[in-house]
Structure formats: structure tokens, C-alpha cells
Amino acid sequence: MLISAAGPGSVPVASPTGAAPTDFVPAPQAGDYPIPANPVVAVCGATGAVGRVMLETLERLDFPASRVRALASARSAGTTIPYTGPGAPDSGQLTVEEMTPDSFQGVNIALFSAGAAITKQFAADVNAAGAVIIDNSSAYRMDPEVPLVVPEVNPADAHRHNGIIANPNCSTIQMVVALAPLVKLAPIRRVVVSTYQAASGAGQAAMDELYNQTGDFLAGRSFTPQAFAHQIAFNCIPQIDVFLPDGQTKEEWKMVVETKKILHNPDIQVNATCVRVPVLRSHSESVNVEFDAHAGKYVLSLSDVRAALASAPGVVVIDDPEHLDYPMPAFTAGRDEVFVGRIRTDPTVENGYQMWVVADQLLKGAALNAVQIAQLLLP
């Protein structure tokens, strides 16, 4: 389906962001996917952990849909999910439909959270029906034709798409929200990050496994890990996603390459260690930042760093050591923002700073970010 770039509701091409173009920024495209003021939205993978939160978020943010549809595999078809936001059926219940190549007629925005293989399977059909895909999987994130968007960081990229916009990996999203205000202070040379990632990042079955396995552990019952490779109850697993030949995991690699792409900076160096911890749904990150010293050209202070974070969109600073106040994953579940605390100078390197970044993996790390991208597409 091709519609004239001049047609009604065509997506305006964003003005340049000021950042030097890199290989990662796709060329501006014509507005082949016009989005009406009240679009039809399909949530694809609606019964998964992220899909459910996508629906909750559309409802909570009063996303101005004319209709919302819930698509999933045949297994879930016919079940119902409560939905009372704009575009809800009179019953207040969405009936889950089986996702097939014919599911997308009349859809304007398809929010996918069904895994990379499913997105790839259906992408051509979705685009042929005239719908834009906002995909939570890793399928297209590093495709140079596909923008990778965090609305607080690189919103203009959302308008340069060819029918697919990628939602970054959860651990990347919350880190770049905290890095974006800092790169406005001075170039960042290097980031060393260690993550404390919740079970939710591996889906609903993984959250259930942490919950149930912990009960089994306390009761002295035996259990067999399924969603995770090893016991997760009272344990830390220093592996998320598969291993790559260089000894990194794919999750660690994602943090490296996605950060470069989102920040439009192929030179920023990221070293990541990604660890699963027995937490239900918020990720935490210990982030060490080295700004470029440039022989004294950039001299920053802790106040500069604090002020930049405190005024950044989507960031809430919680950093009051005197009252033992800092972000913690158990208390940020269900919150939209990225929480930053333990902000301090790292005296072991020139222009070094350390911070602790926490966000709800299901919201800002996935569903909320996807819905925010959809908001960017509204005329």
C-alpha cells in the first residue's frame, strides 16, 4: 500500500536534530503510512507480559484509538481481556483474535510483542495492509532502515521509518534515558554498566517461575528451572540471552550497539555485564560514565550532572543519602519514569561519574516506550 507523501495525515519529516548523521539514521522517507487522529491499534502478542501492559498503558494514557484489537496465537484466541479505554468495545472486554496474515486490514498501528520470529513472519502483511509496526522484539533494531526510538531521546527518528519502528531492549532504554541529558553536557567517552535485571524481562512465564520457585525453595520442595537456565530463586544468573563468540551475551551486545544507534554516536564505548536477579519487574543498573576530558575542554562538576538529570524528561532523581533514599526496583514497579540515584563523582578517572538507574522493565523498558512511540506518530 503506497500513499502519497502529500496525502492527508502524512507524517511530517522531522527537522534535523543537530546530531551529525551516522550510518544508523535512516534517510527520511515519504509518509507512506499516514496515521489518523483516531487510529485503529492492534496489540500483537496481547496475552504476554508486555502485551498486557501495552493494553493497560493505552487505556491509562487515554490513547485516542478509534478501535483497539488484541491479537495472539491460536492458543489464546477467544479469551477476553478487560479494556475500557478509547476504542474499547461496549462490553469493556477485548476478545483475543488469532493473528493471521489477514488480521491487519484497517489497522493503522500494530504494537508487536510476540518475539522476533513472529514479527518477521507477519511484517510484510502488516505493512501491506498499511499499518506501521512498532516492534518490541530484537528483529529489526539494528536494521539501518529501521529507526530505534526512545521518545525522550531521539523522537525525530520515529518519523523516518519505512513501516517499522523498533523499540529498544529494556536495559538499553533506561540507560539511554539517563545518558541523554549527560551527552548534552559533554561527549561521553565510555560507559561501564552492570545490570540487575528482573524476571519480567524474560516474560510472564519467567515471572511466574521466580514466584513459584521461591515458594518451592522456602517449602523445601524440589523444582526444575524451565524459563531460566538455572535456579533464579535466591540466585544471580550472569547470563541474559545467548552467548556470542567473543564471550559477551547478546543482551550485553544489545546495550553496546543500541546505545550507539539511539544516541547517534558510533564512538561512544559501552562495556556491559548483564545479570538476572530475583526481582519481579524493575531493572536496576550500576552505570559508570567517563566524559571525554579533551585536555580540559570539558570540565564538569557533580552539580552539572545532577542538574542535567533532574531536569531531564522522563527522569526522576531520588538521591537523598541522609534519609536512605535512592531508587529501588521493588518500589518502581508500576511507575513510568526512569529513576536515578547514588549520583556521585568517580574520582578514579578524569570526568568520571557513577549513578544507579532503575525503571519498570514492563513499562518504560517495553510497553510504555512502545505506546509513547505510537503517540509520536499521531498527527
Residues that bind its own copies (CB under 8 A): 190-192, 194, 196, 210-211, 214-215, 218, 229-231, 233-239, 243, 246-248, 269-271, 273, 275, 277-280, 284, 286, 288, 321-322, 324, 326-331, 341-349, 352, 354, 356
Which element (helix H / strand E) includes 372? helix 368-377
The active-site residue out of 44, 159, 161, 170 is 170
Contact (Cβ atoms closer than 8 angstroms) between residue 322 and residue 227:
no
Decide whether 66 or 345 has the Cβ nearer to its own copies.
345
Q: Of the two residues 224 and 348, which places its CB atom closer to its own copies in the complex?
A: 348
Nearer residue to its own copies within complex by CB, 131 or 270 = 270
| Nearer residue to its own copies within complex by CB, 42 or 318 | 318
Is 161 marked active-site?
no
DSSP string, 259-304: HHHHTT-TT-EEEEE--B-S-SSEEEEEEEEEE--GGGT----HHH
Question: Per the structure block, which three cell numbers stand in for 182?
Answer: 549527560
The neighbour count for residue 262, using CB atoms within 10 Å, is 25
Please give the Cα distance from 72 to 145 (Å, whole number).
Answer: 27
- Pick between residue 312 and residue 343 the one whose CB is nearest to its own copies: 343
66: Cβ–Cβ under 8 A, 6 or more apart, which residues? 36, 38, 39, 40, 86, 87
User: Residues in the chain, how many?
Assistant: 379
Single out the residue of 169, 155, 159, 183 nearest to residue 50, CA to CA.
169
**Cell triple for 25:** 539514521
User: Least distance in Å: CB of 201 to its own copies?
Assistant: 14
Least distance in Å: CB of 172 to its own copies?
Answer: 16
Nearest approach, Cβ of residue 198 and its own copies (Å): 9
Least separation in angstroms between CB 223 and its own copies: 12
Catalytic annotation present for 170: yes
- Residue 13 near residue 28 (C-beta atoms within 8 A): yes
Q: Which residue in this structure is represented by grid cell 518519523? A: 159
The least distance separating its own copies from the CB of residue 287, rounded to whole angstroms, comes to: 9
Q: Which residues are catalytic, by number? A: 170, 283
